[in-house]
Amino acid sequence: MILKFDKLHGLGNDFVFINRKLLPLNFHFTKEQYSFFSNRKFGIGCDLIVIYEYKDRNIWASFINRDGSSAEICGNACRCLGLLLKKITNLNNFILYTDISSYEIIINHDNISVNMGIPTLSYKNIGINNPLVNLNNILSFLCLTNKEKEEIIDGYVIGLGNPHLILFLKQNLDINFMENLGRKLENCSIFSNRINVSFAKIINSKEIDLTVFERGVGITMACGSGACATAFAAFKLGKVASELTIHQKGGSLNIIINNDSSITQQGQAKYVFYGEIELCQ
């Protein structure tokens, strides 16, 4: 079977996009095939696979991690979907539908904005299975070592389609330290559906440095939903303004906390290439 795909990236967070209508009826990929797509040595190479279809201005999409697990939403992939559909249809605005919500995507030249909706602060909805956990004691339930605790000022948990743990740091940390800590916290027993971990260093009231460990993926060049969740947490804690810039290794995103508490992300996306690959079944 020859599989056609498009590859795009948002700030270095890269994706393989597959049009569902080009697949055989009732076809389902295996976890091994998703792993093959994402493998940078033997496959195409990506952080996430997106299966989509569209009609006019409406897009329906599913997001799959490298390990075959599902992601509820991906902010960078939303912008990339907007750019891809702009390329296909020449339209400038779309509504993206997922299993959990809908998202408005607007393309204005090189700038793509996505309203990511209003986050939830309900720990039950986020997937925290311990009724004793709350915003004031979250750090004490994370099984942190004394060395790890020394690096963290504050912690916050937000649901933005997918769950996010935001750790505010005293200083920027070594990438291996964050990789190891992110993997440990991703699988912490209090999170029933695992969790994305954001490592944030506040520069000033309008800028944050951010590194995100994504569930089922690891450290990525950038994370759109992680940037939105981090901005919202910092705003709620009174650390930043309602409009700010999140800097990540792959580039920067502008984040706006709207008056209704919804979050808008603004940034670029890049088309990389179209390809075909033989898929062994």
CA distance 273 to 17: 11
Our answer to whether residue 228 is catalytic in this structure is no
CA distance 41 to 36: 9
The answer to whether 106 and 113 have CB atoms below 8 angstroms apart is yes
Of the listed 78, 80, 223, 228, which one is catalytic?
223
Q: State phi, psi for 276 to the nearest 5 degrees.
A: -130, 140
Q: Strands 218-219 and 207-214, how do they pair?
A: antiparallel
Task: Annotate 128-162 with DSSP letters as a single string.
Answer: B--TT--TTTGGGGS---HHHHHTEEEEEEEEESE
CA distance 92 to 264: 17
Q: How many residues does the chain have?
A: 281
Could you tell me which of 11, 87, 7 has the C-alpha nearest to residue 54? 87
Our answer to whether residue 280 is catalytic in this structure is no
The answer to whether 109 and 267 have CB atoms below 8 angstroms apart is no
Q: Classify the phi-psi angles of 67: left when phi > 0, otherwise alpha if psi is within -120 to 50, otherwise beta.
A: alpha
* Longest Cα separation, the chain: 54
Which residue in the block uniquely carries the two structure tokens 């963290």?
152
CA distance 131 to 111: 42
Of the listed 74, 78, 80, 228, which one is catalytic?
74
Which residue in the block uniquely carries the two structure tokens 């605005």?
93
Active-site residue list = 74, 223
